Amino acid sequence: MRAVDAVIFDLDGVIVESEGIWDAARRDLVARTGGTWRDDATRAMMGMSSPEWARYLRDELGVPLPVEEIGPAVVAEIACRYRERLPLIPGAVEAVRALADHWPLGLASSSNRPIIDLVLAEAGIADRFAATVSSEEVARGKPSPDVYLEAARRLGADPARCVAIEDSTNGIRAAAAAGMTVVAVPNAELPPAEDALALAAAVVDSPGALTPELVRGLG
């Protein structure tokens, strides 16, 4: 059994119940600017980096704005909603604090940098993370492994000795492609595809089940 060097969390769907909020903000922008929402848009954008989903809104959904304006418009709406009420998932903050007592923690998120920093500060757990990475800071979003590999690099950890906590199809695939051991906390509204879920070494029903004993057993 090899030791675990670090634990790397996803943010959306693991720490905050946010997919519906991102969905609503993007839908609102599409509607306000005269674009057309598609039934598969929500699932298509899961895991995309900010530049990727901004291009998707423009090219696929017809938002008539420059890409560099689309992302900030959506992010401003998300930040406003989070300041009103942060949708923390029960047990997530406690899990972060418990695991931080045993391993360096990283965060590999598709959210923009301002949103990552806002959530962690509002939740009171910013100091528990040794490294945080937004997929806008790497070349490709999930399911490519870039954001997880960068998180491991910033932690000084071997990806093969990292445990990743993920909820979505693209997130699980990204962490697995980085060579990490994956714990899946399936998203209830948009559950992972079965072939993605099969990549996980363990599946738990809530962040509250993310205990040091579970992680240690995956080493």
Is 10 annotated in the active site? yes
Residue identified by tokens 């306000």 is 32
Burial of 53 (0-12, 13-18, 19+ CB in 10 A): buried
Contact 196, 29 (CB under 8 A): no
DSSP E strands in the chain: the ranges are 6-9, 105-109, 131-134, 162-166, 181-184, 202-203
CA–CA distance, 82 with 219 (Å, rounded to integer): 35
| Options 5, 12, 146, 167, the catalytic residue | 12
Rounded Cα distance between 211 and 99, Å, is 7
The rounded distance, in Å, linking the Cα atoms of 48 and 39 is 17
* CA torsion, ordered 170, 174, 180, 182, to nearest 10 deg: -10
Instruction: List the catalytic residue out of 10, 146, 158, 167.
Output: 10
What is the spatial distance between Cα 26 and Cα 7, in angstroms, rounded to a whole number? 31
Give catalytic residue positions: 10, 12
